[in-house]
Structure formats: structure tokens, C-alpha cells
């Protein structure tokens, strides 16, 4: 991808090499040509991810009744599925604005439309390419090159954006505990632990990364909105599947699988999310594993559909900053 208006930016970016495993300072340097050894390692990582994704999917599918899965899918209501798709898309819009709050904290003032387009391109890289979470690396690369923003600052803004998502998952999980008597966790204890953890989290950020607290609570409120709309998407899928049992166990299992899927061990979290979702539902709550797998795969399909909207900017990066 090349910025035609600025020759300085003519270095290509490989989304398979990126945050958070690469030193952010390396984005400030001209990329050196890949050596044979580095190319071999990239291929090996790709093959390992494909292998692990395939293995996890095989394991999960071998533990369920495929006919039951087919029956669930056959009875689904497409209108509720469309509603789930819309709910997820709204969560992505909130997510883009959440990241914008952290960018404002480091005085990186970019147009919200450009930010949304860049975010869409990022989630395409994250989900649809085997390179893991290359979309975040591309944001660091592009904002460093075009806006002369120190790569390390952008790196931390994106990292805190991720952490705010984990915090919001924790918040919603604590809210759901009241509907999960199976866990036998006192509500007062759950809230106490969460509030103490929040206080420690904020203190550490304020002490060592004070700049990122300028819009801290604004960003975290948006993080709650992001996760709420994604939980709503799963709820709508369940309604679309004509499920009329207890929702809370599946919603909490979804949140657990969302945290696990961030770790780039598989392609776009595929396989890993299904494994955690099914394990939580069957082992902790002793409920329907087939439904858990259908919900997880449905969420992956929904997120992939939305991610595909970003593919346009892979070929037309000149449109990213268009008014």
C-alpha cells in the first residue's frame, strides 16, 4: 500500500509483522528487505496458525452432534440474524470512536471519518488475513508516517484501547453474575474485586501513562457500549435460533471466548473462540454445546462480513482520507 502524495511513505507494510510483538520503534525506521530466514519464519508461523485453527475446529466439531447443529441452523430466522449483524456493526462504530478518544489523549487529532475507514481496514487485516493482528501494526505505521506521531505513543494508545475492552468485558461479566447462581460467587465480592482492580488499573495508568488518562473514562464508557452491542448481537442470534432458555450462561461464555480470541494463536480467533465457548458452556454450566458452537461460528461469520467492508481500502488507500 503506497501513499502516492508522499514519497516518504512509499515503503510497503507487511500486515503479518506487527503489534504487539514487534518493537514499536521499528515502525519509525525504513523497513529492511526480508531475509530468507525471516521469510521462512513467517511461513512457519502461518502454517502453525493454520494447523492450530484446523486442529481446534476438528476437536470442537468432533465433540458435538453435527445433525443437531444443522437442525439449529435450519430453523434460524434471517431477520434476527440481520439485526445481530447491525448490532455488531454499531459496536464497531463505537469501537472506532473509543480509539479516537485515546488518540485525542496524545494530541493526535484526526478526522472521525478517516479514523473509521482506517479502523475498518484494520479489522479486515485482523480477522481476514493470517498475519494475526496486523491491522494494529498498520495503524502505527500509517499514523507515524503521515502525521509524524511517535510510533511508541500510537502503540500505547492502541494498547490501552485493547485494555479498555478487557475492562468492559469484566464489567459486563460482573453484571451477569447475578444471573449465574451456578458459579456461587457472592455479588458483593464480585463487585468489590472489580472495583479494586479498576482502582489499581487507573492508578497505574495515571502514575506511569498520565497522558492517556485525559479521556480515560470517556473511552471506557464507549468500551462498555462496544461490548454491550456485541453481547446484544449474540442475544439476537439466540432469539433467531428460537432459543428460549437461560441466556446469561451463553453470554458470559461468549465474553470469556472474546478475551481468549484476542490472543493470535489462530486465524482471526477461529477455532480458539469455539473451543473456549464450548468448554465454558459444557464444563462449567453443563448446557448445550451444539448451541455454543453455532453461536460462536455465527459471531465469526457476522464479524467477517463486517470486516470485508474494509477490503476496499486495501486497494484504494488513497480514499482513506477523502472528505
Whole-angstrom distance, CA of residue 108 vs CA of residue 196: 31
Joined grid coordinates for residue 315: 486497494
Higher-pLDDT residue of 128 and 245 is: 245
Lowest mean pLDDT among 80-84, 136-140, 180-184, 318-322: 318-322
CA distances for 305 relative to 82, 88, 120, 128, 299, angstroms = 11, 10, 11, 10, 10
Give the start-to-end residue ranges of the domains of the chain. 14-319
- Report the alpha-carbon distance of residue 5 to residue 200 in Å, rounded: 45
Percentage of the residues of the chain whose pLDDT score is greater than 70: 83
For the segment 165-193, the average pLDDT, to the nearest whole number, is 92
Q: Which conformational region is residue 267 in: left (phi greater than 0), alpha (psi within -120 to 50 degrees), or beta?
A: beta
Sequence-separated contacts (24+) of 199-206 with Cβ below 8 Å: 201/163, 201/167, 205/160
d(CA 116, CA 94): 10
pLDDT tens by residue, 35-58:
767 677 767 777 787 788 788 888
Asked if 84 and 300 touch (Cβ cutoff 8 Å), the reply is: no
* Residue 16, burial from CB neighbour count under 10 angstroms (0-12, 13-18, 19+): middle
Q: Position of cell 447491525? A: 86
* Of residues 27, 7, 25, the one with CA closest to residue 15: 27
Amino acid at each position: 500500500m503506497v501513499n502516492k502524495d508522499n514519497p516518504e511513505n512509499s515503503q510497503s507494510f507487511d500486515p503479518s509483522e506487527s503489534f504487539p510483538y514487534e518493537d514499536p520503534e521499528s515502525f519509525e525506521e525504513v523497513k529492511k528487505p526480508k531475509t530468507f530466514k525471516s521469510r521462512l519464519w513467517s511461513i512457519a508461523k502461518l502454517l502453525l496458525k493454520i494447523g492450530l485453527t484446523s486442529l481446534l475446529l476438528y476437536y470442537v466439531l468432533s465433540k458435538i452432534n453435527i445433525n443437531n447443529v444443522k437442525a439449529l441452523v435450519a430453523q434460524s430466522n434471517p431477520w434476527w440474524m440481520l439485526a445481530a449483524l447491525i448490532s455488531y456493526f454499531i459496536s464497531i462504530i463505537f469501537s472506532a470512536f473509543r480509539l479516537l478518544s485515546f488518540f485525542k489523549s496524545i494530541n493526535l487529532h484526526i478526522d472521525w471519518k478517516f479514523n473509521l475507514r482506517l479502523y475498518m481496514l484494520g479489522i479486515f487485516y485482523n480477522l481476514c488475513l493470517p498475519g494475526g493482528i496486523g491491522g494494529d501494526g498498520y495503524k502505527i505505521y500509517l499514523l507515524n508516517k503521515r502525521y509524524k506521531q511517535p510510533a511508541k505513543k500510537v502503540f500505547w494508545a492502541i494498547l490501552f484501547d485493547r485494555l479498555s475492552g478487557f475492562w468492559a468485558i469484566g464489567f459486563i461479566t460482573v453484571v451477569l453474575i447475578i444471573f449465574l447462581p451456578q458459579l456461587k460467587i457472592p455479588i458483593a465480592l464480585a463487585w468489590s474485586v472489580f472495583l479494586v482492580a479498576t482502582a489499581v488499573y487507573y492508578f497505574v495508568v495515571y502514575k506511569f501513562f498520565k497522558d492517556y488518562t485525559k479521556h480515560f473514562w470517556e473511552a471506557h464508557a464507549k468500551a462498555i457500549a462496544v461490548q454491550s452491542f456485541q453481547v446484544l448481537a449474540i442475544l439476537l442470534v439466540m432469539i433467531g435460533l428460537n432459543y428460549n432458555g437461560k441466556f446469561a450462561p451463553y453470554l458470559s461464555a461468549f465474553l470469556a471466548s472474546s478475551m481468549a480470541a484476542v490472543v493470535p494463536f489462530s486465524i482471526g480467533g477461529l477455532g480458539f473462540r469455539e473451543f473456549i465457548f464450548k468448554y465454558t458452556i459444557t464444563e462449567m454450566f453443563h448446557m448445550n454445546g451444539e448451541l455454543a458452537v453455532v453461536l460462536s461460528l455465527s459471531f465469526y461469520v457476522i464479524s467477517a462480513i463486517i470486516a470485508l467492508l474494509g477490503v476496499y481500502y486495501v486497494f484504494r488507500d488513497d480514499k482513506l482520507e477523502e472528505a
